[in-house]
Amino acid sequence: MASFKSQRRFAYRLLAGLLTLGPLADAQQQPAGFAVERLYQSAPGAGWFVMDDLNITGRLGGAIELTSGYARNPLVITGPDGKQKLAVVKEEAFFNIGAAITYDRFRGYINFPMPLLLSGASGTLAPYQFIAPSVSLGTNPDTISDPRIGVDVRLLGEPGTLLRLGAGAQLYFPSGSRADYVSDARYRAMFRFLAAGDAGAYTYAGQLGVHVRPLNDAPVPGSPNGSEFLYGISGGRKFAGPPGWVVIAGPEIFGETAFHSFFSGETGTEALITGRLEQTNAGRNLRIKLGVGHALQQNFGAAQWRIVFGVELFGHAGSH
Amino acid sequence: MPFWPLIPAFVLRTCERQQSAASPGRNRAHRLTKANFVRPIALARFAAPLMAGFLLVSSLACAQDGAPGPRPSDQFSFMQLLADKGLHDMENESWNAYGQFTYISSWKSSFSAPYTNLNGSINSLLPTAERSFTGTATLYLGLRLWNGGEAYLVPELISERPLSQLRGLGGAIQNFELQKGGTSTPQIYRSRLFFKQTVGLGGKSLVEESGPLQLATHYDSRRLVFVAGNFSVLDFFDTNAFDVDPRLGFLGLGFLTYAAYDFASDARGYSYGGIAEFHWDDWAVRAGRITPPKQPNQLPVDFRLFKYYGDQMEAEHKHTIRGQDGMARVLVFRNHENMGRFSDAIAAFQADPAENATTCTTFNYGSQNAGAPDLCWARKPNVKKGIGGFAEQTIGRGIGIFGRAMYADGKTEVYAYTSDDRSAAVGVLANGTAWSRPGDDAGIGTNIGWISNVHARYLGMGGVDGFVGDGAITAAAEESFDLFYNANFGKIYWLSGDYQHIAHPGFNAARGPVNIFTVRIHGEF
């Protein structure tokens, strides 16, 4: 028993250390860059762009998704005087391919984000000299930036009911260059509590989570401050489409804030107006998604505005 | 001493032919099965003189498929597991997913060399003992979009340490997995993302089996195939030597394809572009235009496909001789790239010795030889051309022999593959069914590479290209001999032992020979 307690204490300390690595950061004259993308997409087949509809059911099933997006000014840094601004990452475009396998209430998935464009303006905001990324398909013809694997589980409620609860975990593998602002060059993990439900023509989803992010460049303006809280909520209305199709439209609001700067205004929040057209057949279904959004609070990759487009094939073999 | 005349002394017994991975051009009718592996001793008696004759008279060369082959149904795979549980249709797939991992460790013994990196040249194979390794892990994901339309995504991870920073060898590089610019820190990248559309034109209905980069389906023996996206040229061109997965076959780079085939590709060996294939029963013709790198042997890609490109065309015919399957192909390529001609580099240096390897103002390989010409002073839009032939033939129930050779013009620098200007290779592949090890494979072969006279003159003046340049040269053919045995365990794992003997490394008779011993661990799922 003593040994078990000792192990548990060690585990708690390790977790606490991971979550509060902030003070260890060093000041850098030339920031090294980090994974600027803050559109932490939900799993392939999860319905929303960021939230999860938790409609996981049936025998063996799955989803394939292709998402592409463009973000404007995802990283604009304000100088010490509060006036000078530098758009270190002015434009960002990506391409993301993912696949999921579902069985009963479980989902396993994998995503491969690929940068198409990152560019911005280099400059000095004393005492830091920022070097803008210069990424295109020509310079980075085969880059996969921080691929992830994840698992989700529907814990409570059935598809189509008023309340469903679930949980998910993701692991990000470092890949790509920090200088390109596509990677932290460190492993990252996310743990999320998920909720979703349907009430007649209305549907909603939400999440609360933790982003375990060892990278902490806290002294550098506009840089990661270590591990973060994640939050988000979405709601929409279903409209009848052509036979066998449904249209769902509604907003998604999501964001993150660093643990140790929770009250210091270092929070990024975005709102996406989303619409999706999806088939409702028993077999393979198609889903087409479009989202247009604007930052409610522009920080750390919460883009000034962005547009996201997605196509998914999803379905399952039948009821379990 | 040249080692290749010794090869006929080795008699290997069987070979299992597998289908092409990425192209339906190689059909089931062209495949050997284990039921064919019988009478090994009689076969050996037949094979030995045939092989001897083949090696003595043929200048054709050989290689392996750049893409993996299909997975036999008795081999473990995730897809087969689903199919066994009634959750997947292995005859007509809407999707599939396969994976592999491979670790290759090579040890090079020390060898004699009167000089190394002479006068500041930098591309010598180091004469000291060295160890090299590669570790790769790959996922092959396929999805059927609609009738005849397929999409493939292949993410891959690599970690590597080459011998002598991948310098000092031409087509005799000992491990085909090595990439230019690779590091021991694992890197994840996308090796392939392409779309394929097949348009049936009738003829016989053939079966495409499930495997990496191929969805199981039926297709017409007469058809058009269009491919666009990001892929390896070797997924479609010069797929051969019985379509054995290279990760289960010869390890030498010279066996992957024609060593002199400087196909346009980035530093990892992949390209963007489009390919069209026309299949008419036993005949096939394919042509493609693909992107070159922006700078020779580098990763960034030049997408100006109307200005810089690699064009290739290949004609293929399948045949049977005395009931044994065979195939012959001819390939021509023409690259238009921003590359340097050796003669221009020499002329620039002779006209002004200040234009030497240490004064480059544009892309160069970092040579410190101030008395040497450098290609950096000669790069401009130039053309490289080559023509090659390939043949493979089963010579009895299971043994396969193959050969391939290519002649390139040799006027310009290596831009993507190896420093060879001409190459030839021959070999034998055998499957272990004959000795009751049906999952095993063995192979023996030789690969020979030459450089042109002007290329040798440039190297002799101390110049370097992407891979070779000792500072001086006694020009000779670079010869490599490769012998491997590949043992299967548990239908998932393979353990290989490989020996390579390389004479005249870097086309320099003053150095070597070199002996390299390799162990490979490979797994599939």
Q: What is the pLDDT of residue B272?
A: 97
Range of weakest confidence among B69-78, B82-91, B197-206: B69-78
Separation of alpha carbons B515 and B483, rounded Å? 12
Determine, yes or no, domain membership for A267. yes
Residue A126 has pLDDT above 70, yes or no: yes
Q: What is the pLDDT of residue A310?
A: 97
Nearest CA in chain B to A97: B153
Q: What is the pLDDT of residue A260?
A: 79
Separation of alpha carbons B489 and B496, rounded Å? 11
Determine, yes or no, domain membership for A19. no
Domains present along chain B, CATH in parentheses: 4-524 (2.40.160.180)
Q: What is the pLDDT of residue A285?
A: 92
What ipTM describes this predicted complex? 0.84
Range of weakest confidence among A93-97, B157-161, B299-303, B489-493: B489-493
The pLDDT confidence band at residue A7, using thresholds 50, 70 and 90, is: low
Distances (CA, A) of A146 to A72, A85, B135, B416: 21, 28, 19, 28
Number of Cβ within a 10 Å radius of residue B351: 10
Taking residues A139-148, report their average pLDDT.
95
- Site from A94, A97, A142 to mutate, B interface, most B CB atoms within 10 angstroms: A142
Separation of alpha carbons B480 and B478, rounded Å? 7
Phi, psi of B131 (to 5 degrees): -120, 145
Using an 8 Å CB-CB cutoff, list chain A residues near B268.
142
CB contact (8 A) between residue B187 and residue A139 = no
Residue B54 has pLDDT above 90, yes or no: no
Determine, yes or no, domain membership for A45. yes
Burial of A9 (C-beta count, 10 Å sphere; 0-12/13-18/19+): exposed
Reading the block at residue B54, the tokens are 């083949």
pLDDT digits (tens, 9 = 90+) for B407-465: 999 999 999 999 999 999 999 999 888 888 888 999 999 999 999 999 999 999 999 99
The CATH number of the domain holding residue A205 is 2.40.160.40
Long-range contacts of B348-351 (CB under 8 A, 24+ apart): B348/B373, B348/B377, B348/B378, B349/B373, B349/B374, B349/B377, B349/B461
Residue B63 has pLDDT above 50, yes or no: no
CB contact (8 A) between residue A112 and residue B153 = yes
CB contact (8 A) between residue B302 and residue A138 = yes
Chain A contact residues (CB < 8 Å to B):
59-60, 62, 64, 97, 99, 110, 112, 114, 137-144, 147, 173, 175, 284, 313, 317
Determine, yes or no, domain membership for A89. yes
Determine, yes or no, domain membership for A239. yes
Q: What is the pLDDT of residue A281?
A: 85
Taking residues A109-113, report their average pLDDT.
97
Q: What is the pLDDT of residue B53?
A: 36
Are A225 and A266 in contact, with CB atoms under 8 Å apart? yes
Residue B27 has pLDDT above 60, yes or no: no
The pLDDT confidence band at residue A9, using thresholds 50, 70 and 90, is: low
Determine, yes or no, domain membership for A301. yes
pLDDT digits (tens, 9 = 90+) for B265-281: 999 999 999 999 999 99
Distances (CA, A) of A67 to B150, B153, B289: 18, 14, 28
Determine, yes or no, domain membership for A200. yes
Residue B381 has pLDDT above 90, yes or no: yes
Range of weakest confidence among A74-88, A223-237, A266-280, B256-270: A74-88
Q: Which of residues 59-118 of B touch A (CB under 8 A)?
A: 82, 87, 94-95, 97
Of B82, B139, B266, the CB nearest to A141: B266
Q: How many domains does chain A have?
A: 1
Contacts of A11 (CB under 8 A, 6+ apart): none
Q: What is the pLDDT of residue B2?
A: 36
Are B213 and B135 in contact, with CB atoms under 8 Å apart? no
The 3-state DSSP composition of chain A as helix, strand, coil percent (nearest 5) reads 10, 55, 40
Number of residues assigned to chain A: 320
Q: What is the pLDDT of residue B13?
A: 28
Helix, strand, or coil here: B169? coil
Q: What is the pLDDT of residue B187?
A: 93
Determine, yes or no, domain membership for A177. yes
Distance to chain B for A70, nearest Cα, Å: 20
Residue B482 has pLDDT above 60, yes or no: yes
Q: Which residue has the higher pLDDT, B20 or B453?
A: B453
Opening angle at CA B54, ends B50 and B55, nearest 5: 120
Separation of alpha carbons B468 and B506, rounded Å? 6
What does the DSSP assignment read for A170-208?
A: EEEPP-S-GGGTS--SS-EEEEEEEEEEEETTEEEEEEE
Domain coverage including residue A99: 31-316
Kindly report the pTM of this predicted structure. Answer: 0.85
Q: What is the pLDDT of residue A13?
A: 55
Q: What is the pLDDT of residue B55?
A: 35
- Highest-confidence segment of A299-313, B80-94, B440-454: B440-454
Burial of A7 (C-beta count, 10 Å sphere; 0-12/13-18/19+): exposed
Distance to chain B for A93, nearest Cα, Å: 17
CB contact (8 A) between residue B97 and residue A99 = yes
Q: What is the pLDDT of residue B431?
A: 87
Taking residues B310-338, report their average pLDDT.
96
CB contact (8 A) between residue B301 and residue A317 = no
Q: What is the pLDDT of residue B278?
A: 98
Taking residues B355-371, report their average pLDDT.
96
pLDDT digits (tens, 9 = 90+) for B162-210: 999 999 999 999 999 999 888 999 999 999 999 999 999 999 999 999 9
Q: What is the pLDDT of residue B45?
A: 41
Contacts of A21 (CB under 8 A, 6+ apart): A214, A216, A226, A227
Residue pairs between chains A and B whose CB atoms are closer than 8 Å: 54
